[in-house]
């Protein structure tokens, strides 16, 4: 169980990090009359937000692989999911988050902003910033779509493959108690994955103009504040 709880602790840390990037400034804006953020502050906020959200996406894939090894390859589990392997998976998640953040942030702030720079959003996120650019954003939106698709679909493919094999393995179990135990360890994770990827796809992997600013704001509050609050409750259900 040690790798699973290690990944859960890292997931909790990521939830705290990317929620903390947004929430303090959001609360200040609610209480203050001056709802502004500096250009540098906007760059820093977007950079760290994308790092942690991307890292969480790949961490969820690592957790799915961990469940696959635990249920489908139990005899090899302890030799494969070592402390070193777990650390490498977390490090790779952060490294990919850093690369995606650098590309996404550079893609946005390479555009000219002529003003008035009024962000119709609760924080500096990519779609509302693209609305402010006073140049053609077609190429920037293609880059956004490609990068967002990669950091969503690649982990999603790992997750779907892992859980498909897990379900096959569970179906072959003769013991009802064994099937129930295996399903209980996966159900909470799968629920968290569905909520997280559903909101990410809704926000970033969709055609321009498909949703309104209001719906984008509601969804952004959901995945920046509500999901980090829900994850501890979701993962405690199996206990």
Predicted pLDDT at 83 = 92
Give the pLDDT confidence score for residue 172 in this predicted structure.
82
Q: What is the DSSP string of the chain?
A: -HHHHHHHHHHHHHHHHHHHHHHHHHHHHHH-S-----HHHHHHHHHHHHHHHHHHHHHHHHHHHHHHHHHH-HHHHHHHS-HHHHHHHHHHHHHHHHHHHHHHHHHHHTS-B-S-----SSS--HHHHHHHBSS--HHHHHHHHHHHHHHHHHHHHHHHHHHHHHHHHHHT---HHHHHHHHHHHHHHHHHHHHHHHHHHHHHSS-TTSS-HHHHHHHHHIIIIIHHHHHHHHHHTT-
Query: Using an 8 Å Cβ cutoff, are 110 and 143 in contact?
Result: no
Domain residue spans of the chain? 2-236
Mean pLDDT of 111-120: 81
| pLDDT tier, 179 (very low <50, low <70, confident <90, very high otherwise) | confident
For residue 89, pLDDT beyond 60? yes
pLDDT > 70? residue 28: yes
Q: Which of 76-80, 188-192, 202-206 has the highest mean pLDDT?
A: 76-80
Q: Mean pLDDT over residues 183-210, rounded?
A: 72
Q: What is the mean pLDDT of residues 179-191?
A: 75
Give the residue, 10 or 199, on which the prediction is more confident: 10
pTM (two decimals): 0.85
CATH topology of domain 2-236: Rhopdopsin 7-helix transmembrane proteins (1.20.1070)
Question: What residues pair up with 133 in beta bridges, in sequence order?
Answer: 113
């Amino acid at each position: 169980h040690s790798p699973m709880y290690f990944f859960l602790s890292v997931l909790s840390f990521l939830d705290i990090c990317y929620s903390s990037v947004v929430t303090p400034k959001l609360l200040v804006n609610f209480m203050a009359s001056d709802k502004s953020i500096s250009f540098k502050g906007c760059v820093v906020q977007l950079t760290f937000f994308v790092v942690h959200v991307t890292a969480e996406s790949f961490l969820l894939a690592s957790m799915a692989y961990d469940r696959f090894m635990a249920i489908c390859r139990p005899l090899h589990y302890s030799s494969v999911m070592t402390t070193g392997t777990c650390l490498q998976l977390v490090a790779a998640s952060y490294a990919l988050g850093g690369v995606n953040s650098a590309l996404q942030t550079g893609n946005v702030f390479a555009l000219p902003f002529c003003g008035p720079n009024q962000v119709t959003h609760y924080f500096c996120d990519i779609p509302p910033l693209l609305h402010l650019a006073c140049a053609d954003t077609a190429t920037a939106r293609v880059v956004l779509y490609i990068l967002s698709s990669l950091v969503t679909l690649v982990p999603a493919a790992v997750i779907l493959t892992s859980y498909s094999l897990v379900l096959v393995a569970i179906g072959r179990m003769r013991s009802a108690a064994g099937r129930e135990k295996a399903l209980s360890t996966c159900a909470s994770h799968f629920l968290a994955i569905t909520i997280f990827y559903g909101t990410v796809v809704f926000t970033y992997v969709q055609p321009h103009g498909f949703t309104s600013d209001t719906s984008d704001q509601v969804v952004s509050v959901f995945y920046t504040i509500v999901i980090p609050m829900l994850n501890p409750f979701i993962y405690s259900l199996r206990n």
